[in-house]
Amino acid sequence: MRLRNITGSREVIADSDYVVHEDILTSCPGTWHEIFGNHDPIRIEIGMGKGQFIHTLAKQNPDVNYVGIEKYSSVLLRAIQKMEQEELPNLKFIRMDAEIIDEVFGKGEVDRIYLNFSDPWPKDRHAKRRLPSRQFLERYDRILKKDGIIEFKTDNRELFDFALEELEPAGWKADAVTFDLHSNEEMMVGNVMTEYEEKFSSMGNPICKYIIRR
């Protein structure tokens, strides 16, 4: 998702209390419980877009802390605007490229990672930029607690097949896999729709999902 540049989005982000700012990010590992002021579990969404999914989860689960990560200011701005309409103490945002995720969270600090409708990067030479790639799984391995899980949803079958192939070489295993989430009663329990999930499922695209652990 890339919205046209919105004038002033960088300034709004720089002034926002909902955002953990770039200048302190590298001092954050190991201190996220202080940032939230409690010892509740920390769950993150990487590539959250406008924040519909993570905002809904944070509202449903006040005893869980959430961090939404998004690369583009113009997109993050939308998530900030949603928070201005409905403020949630257990939700924070970071504007950054997730390539440095393991410099921002400490070892085992994260309880769960959500990847939703990640960019496909279709060219082979860009495979390592895909968020479910083995290179990213290595970074997630460093920050996720021992029994932590990753949940990934997409309507892109090629990306999903790639993601499944990456599991074994990276030392992960699937707890659950579906190629048609919305027809899978068990995996649909508690499902929160993302913006892209609403869009693509309404077009009739089946949604794939895995839940993985080491």
Which residues are part of the catalytic machinery? 119
Q: What DSSP assignment string belongs to 94-142?
A: EES-GGGGGGTS-TT-EEEEEEES-----SGGGGGGSTTSHHHHHHHHH
Q: Closer to ligand SAM at the Cβ: 135 or 184?
A: 135
94 token code pair: 């970071």
Q: How far is the CB of 49 from ligand SAM (least distance, A)?
A: 3
Determine the interface stretch with ligand SAM among 56-64, 113-121, 137-145, 201-209 (rule: CB under 6 A). 113-121
Rule CB under 6 A: is residue 47 a binding residue for ligand SAM? yes
The stretch near ligand SAM (CB under 6 A) out of 12-20, 33-41, 43-51, 166-174 is 43-51
Token pair 């600090």 is found at 109
What single letter denotes the amino acid at residue 26? T
From candidates 73, 116, 156, 178, binder to ligand SAM by CB under 6 A = 116
Closest approach of Cβ 38 to ligand SAM, in Å? 26
Residue whose C-alpha is closest to residue 192's, from 76, 35, 51: 51
From candidates 19, 44, 48, 181, binder to ligand SAM by CB under 6 A: 48
Q: At 172, is the secondary structure helix, strand, or coil?
A: coil
Which stretch, 102-110, 111-119, 170-178, 204-212, contacts ligand SAM (CB under 6 A)? 111-119
Cα–Cα distance, 173 to 211 (Å, whole number):
9
Cβ contact 54:193 at 8 Å: no
Is there binding between residue 68 and ligand SAM (CB under 6 A)?
Answer: no
Going through the chain in order, the beta strands assigned E by DSSP cover 42-46, 65-70, 91-95, 110-116, 144-154, 173-178, 208-213
Interface pick for ligand SAM out of 75, 77, 149, 167 (rule CB under 6 A): 75
Q: Which is nearer to ligand SAM, 57 or 149 (CB)?
A: 57
Interface contacts to ligand SAM, rule CB under 6 A: 1, 46-49, 69-72, 75, 97-99, 116-117, 119, 194-196
